[in-house]
């Protein structure tokens, strides 16, 4: 499908969380000559902080047109340097931020498209346990550990629930400029998903770095997710947290975890 001319220069922001596998999507998008695929630039937090400073200076609950224009000029200058360095026309930033931070960027750049990248809880659990086999200290999950001392499974579940709910909330309030992608769909049928991404983002499908995966390549991930589900049964998740995991899983089209009582 031909790229949408109206979207030829608009920013693309991939919103996700730790151990979601969003780097796989970034690798696919990096094949596009029009995109400068980056992460960790700090552009979205900078935008949020600058808007907050303007609101404080102006004693306003919402930023004024002057504030929005000023912050847009600041970020556009930085973005221009990145695009010149990469030889691309559009920024494609992968980031982990709160809905408030993403919303500030959407206010300043209303033409931006946000891709919310999801992964099932067992997949995140498997990846997290593999990355931190000796404990979750200093991991992205650690801030959620206090209510679940000694239960790493529940800690990761709490993290997944918080981050997944935040992404879904952002999507609900910014439906006109956001879409969501599941890690499992990307790994199961990257070609089909690439076509959908091209349609939404106005990209040339022939440029994307779509991986050709064999069954043997995808099987380990499936096995890891299955093992994670078993681990969750051995270290029970509190009922309310389990219910939240199941509710969000169903909303995203994932199967719920087996009931440990059965």
- Residue 227 placed within a domain: yes
Could you report the per-residue pLDDT of 30-64, keeping only the tens digit for each? Answer: 888 999 999 999 999 999 999 999 999 999 999 99
Could you report the per-residue pLDDT of 69-108, keeping only the tens digit for each? Answer: 999 999 999 999 999 999 999 999 999 999 999 999 999 9
Could you report the per-residue pLDDT of 110-165, keeping only the tens digit for each? Answer: 999 999 999 999 999 999 999 999 999 999 999 999 999 989 999 999 999 999 99
Tokens of 120: 């099932």
CA nearest to 258, candidates 209, 240, 94, 236: 236
CA nearest to 37, candidates 45, 29, 47: 29
- Residue 262 placed within a domain: no
Total domain count for the chain? Answer: 1
Q: Return phi, psi of residue 177, to 5°.
A: -130, 15
Q: Is 194 within 8 Å of 28 (Cβ atoms)?
A: yes
- Residue 201 placed within a domain: yes
* Helix/strand/coil for 16: coil
Q: Residue 203: give its domain's CATH number.
A: 3.40.50.300
* pTM for the whole structure: 0.88
Percent of the chain residues past pLDDT 70, beyond the cut = 86
- Residue 205 placed within a domain: yes
Residue 170's pLDDT is: 96
Determine the structural domain holding residue 68 and report its residue range: 5-251
- Residue 259 placed within a domain: no
d(CA 95, CA 44): 8
- Residue 258 placed within a domain: no
- Residue 220 placed within a domain: yes
Write the DSSP symbol of residue 253: T
- Residue 260 placed within a domain: no
Residue 242's pLDDT is: 93
């Amino acid at each position: 499908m031909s790229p949408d001319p109206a979207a030829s220069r608009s920013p693309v922001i991939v919103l996700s969380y730790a151990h979601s596998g969003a780097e796989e999507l970034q690798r696919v998008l990096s094949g596009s000559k029009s995109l400068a695929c980056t992460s960790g630039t700090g552009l979205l937090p900078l935008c949020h902080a600058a808007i907050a400073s303007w609101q404080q200076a102006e004693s306003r609950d919402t930023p004024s047109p002057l504030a929005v224009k000023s912050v847009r000029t600041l970020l556009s200058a930085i973005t221009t340097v990145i695009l010149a360095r990469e030889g691309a026309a559009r920024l494609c930033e992968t980031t982990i931020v709160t809905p408030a931070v993403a919303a500030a960027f959407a206010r300043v750049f209303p033409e931006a498209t946000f891709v919310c990248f999801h992964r099932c809880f067992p997949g995140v659990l498997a990846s997290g346990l593999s990355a931190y086999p000796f404990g979750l200290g200093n991991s992205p999950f650690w801030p959620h550990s206090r209510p679940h001392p000694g239960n790493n499974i529940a800690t990761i579940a709490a993290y997944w629930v918080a981050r997944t709910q935040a992404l879904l909330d952002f999507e609900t309030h910014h439906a006109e400029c956001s879409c969501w992608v599941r890690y499992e769909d990307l790994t199961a049928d990257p070609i089909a998903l690439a076509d959908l991404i091209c349609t939404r983002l106005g990209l040339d499908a022939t440029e994307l770095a779509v991986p050709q995966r064999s069954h043997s390549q995808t099987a380990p991930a499936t096995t890891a997710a299955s093992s994670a589900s078993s681990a969750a049964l051995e270290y029970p998740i509190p009922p309310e947290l389990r219910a939240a995991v199941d509710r969000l899983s169903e909303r995203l089209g994932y199967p719920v975890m087996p009931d440990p009582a059965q």
